[in-house]
Structure 1
Amino acid sequence: MNNQKLKQWIQVAISLAIAVWIFWYLYKDIAIDSLIDQIKTSNWVWIGASIFISFFGYFLRGWRWTLLIQSEEGEKVRPNRAYHATMIGYLANLVVPRAGEVAKCGVLTRTNGISLGHLLGTVILERSVDLLCLVGTIFLAFILENTLFLELAGQLVNTETLLNSLKSNLPIAIGILVITIIFIRFLLKRFRDNGLINKIQHFFREIGGGLKRINKMENPIGFWGSSILMWIIYFLTMYTVSLGIESTANLSSGEVLLVMVMGSIGMVAPVQGGIGTFHALVAFILIQFGVSEVDGKIFAAIIHGTQLILVLILGIISWLVMMKLPTWKQPEQA
């Protein structure tokens, strides 16, 4: 094993250890009987509905991906193959964080003959749009539940003191902001030949160019519409589970939206499947809404556990389906 692979496996082991430690720390004082009782008393019609909605969301993500794959090489990617490749990607992420992006592209390269570079470019663009949607969702949560949003922010930062300080020192704050912007521009120009600076600039140029390409594709409305619909699906998945559990059944839609935002941030963390980070953030915000600590942690465990089992089942099925397909070969010229 070379040094690069050893370093990668060490990183995987560290991220897994962190995830397991966070999960253990959260649940070490919760009796397994409490979790079993909650599972037994939950309304599984609602939880089953969330699972079905999630399945539709996974297929929609695969369909959206086909809209970005506009390569003239290889065989056109159908939605069913894009869906299976997507599920294989989710499955790979449970083993190695962020490995799913490469795994799902590699599957289509083998079965459809499309270059890995082209597919990875589409995935980077997908992730950029997802990040944009996450920011938009956070902004929407602030608009709909601004009082609640500020109260939660106040749990972490004394917003009143911060705002008063900014008002009393507004000229200084504006001056610092202007100086910071000028300093960043100076660094970008002064070190434009630096490798890291080049990579950062290239990353943002790629995102900007990618967003322009979306509007030039055959179905830009379908792409943006499906991107928004996926986040509505994420919300409905969380909302239906909340209806199925007695301790969270009375949460408002705005409160569930904030829970979804926190859970989404937890899933972004570089750990396998958001294990630990998802549970910690979801439980934290539910406690702020008056849900007991035990019930908040159990809610996080149920929604994450059902989604984890769904990904495992669908991912393994998709892997078996795609592995049976032959490797794509260039048709012989007549």
Structure 2
Amino acid sequence: MGYKPKFPNSIMAVFSAYLINYTVPRAGEVARASVLTTYEQVPFEKGFGTIVAERVADMILLLLIIAIALFLQFDYIYAFFIDRFNPFTIAFGLAFLAIMFGLLILFINKSQSAFAIKIKNFINGLKEGVFSIFKMKKKWQFMAHTIFIWIMYVLMFYVTTFAVAELHGIAFGAILIGFISASFSIAATNGGIGSYPVAIFAAFAVFGVAQSPSIAFGWIAWSSQTLMLVICGGFSLIFLPLYNKKRL
């Protein structure tokens, strides 16, 4: 868009956003755009639009990881649910969800209520975010960096299993299932506080991993990430005004 924010400001804006997300979920994205507006004169709506594009790309990559995990560990997942739930109940549940989803789509398309309009605007925003990725000047570099970031994130999760002896040799497909479950716990809560280890235990239980090593792994992975974000985010909030003192 023609704006060239300084690299330190970009880095500190990201770390500040992650730290703020621990207080109010998704407030960090707003704060990140505000930082760029304050210190780099990037219009808020344009800065926030690029963040939406990032989140859309992240969602696409996460859906791809889910698809890969289901492909690699379909037998385990299928057997887990068949052993615990009646196949008829599963089929009925899926059919019910499909019908309800279809009715919801029909309601949103036909209704002029405030709720339906908000949903429409949200979906249109997602579409716009997706297509904006393919219209940007350096779209291939953006996509390559996004893929690289997620590969590193998954590998970080995998390497952490080496810290727990009981998890040595665990299938990579199981790692992906645990990663997906943990990612959803972060999105649903304030940075996964309290829910992250439980989400990992729920995922690893599908593969017969005991509770103690699963919970221990979850706390190690969550604590190390959180410690890094708290330290880097805290320093970013302190140094942002100091670094930009002469520019304000």
Q: Decide whether aligned partners of structure 1 residues 272 and 120 sit closer, same or farther in structure 2, where only a CA change above 3 A counts.
A: same
Identity value in percent = 23
Residue 216 of structure 1 and its aligned partner are, at CA, apart by 1.5
Q: Decide whether aligned partners of structure 1 residues 306 and 207 sit closer, same or farther in structure 2, where only a CA change above 3 A counts.
A: same
Residue 81 of structure 1 and its aligned partner are, at CA, apart by 2.3
Partner Cα separation in structure 2 for residue 315 and residue 188 of structure 1: 40
CA contact (8 A) 1:234 1:260 kept: no
Alignment of structure 1 residues 1-334 onto 2, 5 Å = 70=1, 72=2, 75-154=3-82, 158=85, 160-162=87-89, 181=102, 183-184=103-104, 186-192=106-112, 194-269=113-188, 271-324=189-242, 325-326=244-245
Partner Cα separation in structure 2 for residue 91 and residue 178 of structure 1: 40
Residue 151 of structure 1 and its aligned partner are, at CA, apart by 3.2
TM-score normalised per structure 1: 0.66
Residue 129 of structure 1 and its aligned partner are, at CA, apart by 2.2
Residue 291 of structure 1 and its aligned partner are, at CA, apart by 2.8
Q: Decide whether aligned partners of structure 1 residues 211 and 327 sit closer, same or farther in structure 2, where only a CA change above 3 A counts.
A: farther
**Which structure 1 segments of 5+ residues have no match?**
1-69, 167-172, 330-334
Partner Cα separation in structure 2 for residue 152 and residue 90 of structure 1: 35
Partner Cα separation in structure 2 for residue 141 and residue 105 of structure 1: 33
Residue 288 of structure 1 and its aligned partner are, at CA, apart by 3.4
- If asked which structure has higher relative contact order (CA below 8 Å, sep 6+), I would say 1
Residue 132 of structure 1 and its aligned partner are, at CA, apart by 2.1
Partner Cα separation in structure 2 for residue 316 and residue 177 of structure 1: 45
Partner Cα separation in structure 2 for residue 252 and residue 178 of structure 1: 35
Partner Cα separation in structure 2 for residue 150 and residue 257 of structure 1: 16
Q: Decide whether aligned partners of structure 1 residues 111 and 292 sit closer, same or farther in structure 2, where only a CA change above 3 A counts.
A: same
Aligned-residue Cα RMSD (Å) equals 2.6
How many residue pairs were aligned?
A: 246
Partner Cα separation in structure 2 for residue 256 and residue 179 of structure 1: 32
Q: What do the CA deviations read for 1:171-229 (whole angstroms, capped 9, x no partner)?
A: xx69x967973x4454234323x222111111111221222221111111111122222
**Which structure 2 segments of 5+ residues have no match?**
none
TM-score normalised per structure 2: 0.88
Partner Cα separation in structure 1 for residue 182 and residue 99 of structure 2: 34
Partner Cα separation in structure 2 for residue 250 and residue 178 of structure 1: 41
Amino acid at match of 1:118: K
CA contact (8 A) 2:108 2:119 kept: no
Q: Decide whether aligned partners of structure 1 residues 100 and 313 sit closer, same or farther in structure 2, where only a CA change above 3 A counts.
A: same
Q: Decide whether aligned partners of structure 1 residues 177 and 295 sit closer, same or farther in structure 2, where only a CA change above 3 A counts.
A: closer
CA contact (8 A) 2:13 2:35 kept: yes
CA contact (8 A) 1:152 1:288 kept: yes
Residue 123 of structure 1 and its aligned partner are, at CA, apart by 1.7
Partner Cα separation in structure 1 for residue 204 and residue 100 of structure 2: 40
